[in-house]
Amino acid sequence: MAQSAIPAQQAEPRPAPMRVPVRDVLPWAVFAVALAAVLIYLVGAEQGATSLFGGTWVHEFTHDGRHLLGFPCH
């Protein structure tokens, strides 16, 4: 059985779940959190409670998504 020419799928050892070391994750975590903060702020809050750019263009452009994703809009 062990001599089969084609390696059987089920015979493959199931690798133990490996851990990504925390120090490897952290720099990427900082990057992902910063990027997500900017994107979610633009979609969810800019020109609502707070405003970095003048006017209401960002608010109006993201209007439907802001409502449907559950952010307070106006």
Task: Give the interface with another protein as residue ranges (CB under 8 A).
Answer: 12-20, 22, 24-25, 28-29, 31-33, 35-36, 39-40, 42-45, 48-50, 55-57, 60-74
CB 14 to another protein: min, Å: 8
Task: Give the integer Cα–Cα distance in Å for 62 and 41.
Answer: 11
Q: How far is the CB of 70 from another protein (least distance, A)?
A: 4
Query: What's the rounded Cα separation, in Å, for the pair 70 and 25?
Result: 30
Q: Of 4 and 14, which has the nearer Cβ to another protein?
A: 14
Alpha-carbon separation of residue 48 from 51, 59, 69 (angstroms):
7, 7, 15
